[in-house]
Amino acid sequence: MSDIINILPDSVANQIAAGEVVDRPASAVKELLENSMDAGASQIDLVVKDAGRTLIQVIDNGSGMSDSDARLCFERHATSKIHKSDDLFAIHTMGFRGEALASIAAIAQVELRTRLHDSELGTTILIEGSHITSQQPTACSPGTSLAVKNLFFNVPARRNFLKKDSVEMSHIEEVFRRITLVHYDIGFTLQSNGKTLYDLKAGSMLQRIAQLYGNHYKERFYSVEEATDIVRIKGFVGKPEFSRKTRGEQYLFVNGRFIKHPALSAAVEKAYTDMIPERTYPSYFIGLQVDPSRIDINIHPTKTEVKFIDEHALFAILRSAVKKALGQFTLATELSFNTPEEFNIAPAPRGYVPTQPRISYNPNYNPFHATTQPSTKTTVQQIDLPDYRQSNDIETLPIPKTEKAVDPPNETNSVCMQVQGRYIVTPLPSGLAIIDQQRAHERILFDRLCKRHTSDSSQTLLFPVNCSFSPADADMFMELIPDLKNFGFGIESLGQHSFVVTATPTEFSENDLQGFFDQMLTDYKSSSLQKFSNRNQSLCLSIARQMAVKAGTTLGAEEMQQMVADLFACPMADTAPNGKRIITIVKPEELLK
């Protein structure tokens, strides 16, 4: 019998490693930025084209490399940061595995230009699919420039799994934020398709937050700082009144590295107990300094998942530090004894007698002798998108006679009952229907939004609302404005990634417009909406999700009847827009049991 086990070629092994380290353009961006920081760069420029598909280039003014190091850095497990196994438990650098450049070179066309600061000439290396095609001396600036072209050119299956450019660009921008937020002592730029999205100057952490999210963010945070034998904590936590509907602005860093740690995130959120509404989340940017020997960051290729030896102690310390910051600054605000200028009223002169106020009224008016009687019944005209949480006296509409997967009720005013604040129970010819009220409302709103093509029902806001986004989100939001105007929104650009909302649909009841649009963009970028054939349907579902009545909302009898009638008027009354079931039928024979 012949031998069947063989050693894989380096090119194949590198492609397998690339599957772990580089799964999308944002992964390559992360590895290249970390290498530049480890090289001691004070300025790092990131250039991408077509969301990283065509080009990812990182230029830094770091230490640079010699001719031999420039060639060795593309070999597997080649690293300057680890010399013995004990070094794995005392890691102070960002990239250390020695797999990133070898993995990237295996699936892309790479051009490296590097030069030591005390050298007259640098080195240029061209690599294609792990094979070095050229290496020669060149004149270049001190530091390193590494260009990754045509990512996954030789792995078409992985390239086909990439999302559209807007989604991939959002991942790149998120990686950029994670790195730049904690390394605020380094200058960064980000260019996409020739347009500068970020130009960040070195400064403090609060200045970096303002550069990324806008100057108005400076007023939204309290500083948190604590030092113990186990951990040093320094960062910023959001004021309770600025809590959001999404977790987008929650960043934890350990020893200068972004991490995901559910327990520590829960520690921060528990500090806000009874301070923010349900289903809202605080914003925070918190850095932790821990002894490297007390932490393991080598359990995942992307190094975002870590293990702590003192996890329980860290939880308690972090929670206490955040509660202390919230209590200290809130109390300091409440106990401010500086009298506002509007209360500095000069005392009245001696002998001044104030004028007694007078009230005008008609002494002959008698409310019991009115000449006309008010109507005993008020009919409210049905609007395009009914808000079942606010309507009190709405006429029930008849149910159209159409072929349905579920037979509609026989009577127009069928009996409806609410169970657990979540389900509507009503009799049908085929049995007893249990209707999920939130999914039902989503179906109603989704169908009506999809049919709307003109902004024929808008209400002008008395006080226009300003909304700000990150540069990538602002570009995406700008593309969506024409569709949002068709739904009844009035939106204009103010420049600098800011917009003003002057009108909303007449039935719109959401007060937090910033949170509404943030969630809409999050939904639009998520893979759950990729199944829809066009952008309009994706927006319709996102808006319907947010405007629909939520589980736990108490509905009146008329409101339930109206919702049931509107639901059975939909072509797909039994299925929500996301494909989940709306109605469950309990058969008569099941009721007899």
Over range 87-100, report the average pLDDT: 52
Residue 468, helix vs strand vs coil: strand
Over range 478-492, report the average pLDDT: 88
First to last CA, the chain: 66
| Cα–Cα distance for residue pair 261/128, rounded to 1 Å | 37
Inter-CA distances, 527 with 168, 240, 472, 473, 531, Å: 11, 30, 18, 16, 8
Residues with Cβ within 8 Å of 26's Cβ and at least 6 positions away in sequence, in order, are 52, 168, 171, 172, 174, 175
How would residue 282 be classed by pLDDT, with cut points 50, 70 and 90? Answer: very high
Over range 147-169, report the average pLDDT: 88
55-60 and 195-200 as β-strands: parallel, antiparallel, unpaired? unpaired
Q: Please tell me the predicted confidence (pLDDT) of residue 209.
A: 92
Q: Please tell me the predicted confidence (pLDDT) of residue 475.
A: 80
Residue 509 tokens, joined: 């009841």
| Cα–Cα distance for residue pair 367/534, rounded to 1 Å | 59
Residues with Cβ within 8 Å of 592's Cβ and at least 6 positions away in sequence, in order, are none
Q: Please tell me the predicted confidence (pLDDT) of residue 413.
A: 55
Over range 443-463, report the average pLDDT: 78
Q: Which helix (H) or strand (E) holds 173?
A: helix 165-182
- What's the DSSP call for residue 341? G
Q: Which residue has the higher pLDDT, 497 or 93?
A: 497
Q: Which of 176-180, 240-244, 370-374 has the lowest mean pLDDT?
A: 370-374
Query: Using alpha carbons only, what angle is made at residue 265 by residues 263 and 271, rounded to the nearest 5 degrees?
Result: 105
Q: What is the pLDDT of residues 510-536, one digit of tens each?
A: 777 888 888 888 777 764 445 555 677
Q: Please tell me the predicted confidence (pLDDT) of residue 204.
A: 94
**High-pLDDT (> 90) share of the chain, %:** 32
Domains and CATH numbers, the chain: 10-200 (3.30.565.10), 207-330 (3.30.230.10), 417-586 (3.30.1370.100)
Asked if the model's pLDDT at residue 172 lies above 90, the reply is: yes
Tokens 């009503």 belong to which residue? Answer: 426
Strands (DSSP E) found in 429-548: 431-436, 458-468, 490-495, 498-505
Q: What is the pLDDT of residues 367-420, one digit of tens each?
A: 666 544 444 443 333 334 445 544 443 333 333 444 455 667 665 557 888 888
Q: Please tell me the predicted confidence (pLDDT) of residue 177.
A: 93
Over range 456-480, report the average pLDDT: 82
Q: Please tell me the predicted confidence (pLDDT) of residue 33.
A: 94
SS (H, E, C) 2-40: CCCCCCCCHHHHHHHHHHHHCCCHHHHHHHHHHHHHHCC
Over range 26-36, report the average pLDDT: 92
**Residue 475 φ/ψ region, left for φ over 0, alpha for ψ in the -120 to 50 degree band, beta for the rest:** alpha
Residue 72 tokens, joined: 């060795």
| Cα–Cα distance for residue pair 448/509, rounded to 1 Å | 17
| Cα–Cα distance for residue pair 555/329, rounded to 1 Å | 40
Q: Please tell me the predicted confidence (pLDDT) of residue 1.
A: 55
284-290 and 250-254 as β-strands: parallel, antiparallel, unpaired? parallel
Compute CA 160 distance to the chain's CA centroid, rounded to the nearest angstrom.
25
Asked if the model's pLDDT at residue 445 lies above 70, the reply is: yes
Residue 437, helix vs strand vs coil: helix
For 333, other C-beta atoms within 10 Å of its C-beta total 10
How would residue 580 be classed by pLDDT, with cut points 50, 70 and 90? Answer: confident
How would residue 4 be classed by pLDDT, with cut points 50, 70 and 90? Answer: low
| Cα–Cα distance for residue pair 325/408, rounded to 1 Å | 56
Q: Please tell me the predicted confidence (pLDDT) of residue 526.
A: 65
Residue 307 tokens, joined: 């293990």
Over range 50-60, report the average pLDDT: 95
Residue 150 tokens, joined: 């045509």
Q: What is the pLDDT of residues 95-126, one digit of tens each?
A: 444 567 888 988 999 999 999 999 999 999 99
Strand partners, 189: 45, 199
Asked if the model's pLDDT at residue 331 lies above 90, the reply is: no
- What's the DSSP call for residue 297? -
Compute CA 97 distance to the chain's CA centroid, rounded to the nearest angstrom.
30
| Cα–Cα distance for residue pair 36/62, rounded to 1 Å | 7
Q: Environment class of residue 450 by beta-carbon count within 10 Å: exposed (0-12), middle (13-18) or buried (19+)?
A: middle
Asked if the model's pLDDT at residue 545 lies above 60, the reply is: yes
Q: Please tell me the predicted confidence (pLDDT) of residue 532.
A: 57
Q: What is the pLDDT of residues 300-319, one digit of tens each?
A: 555 677 888 888 999 999 99
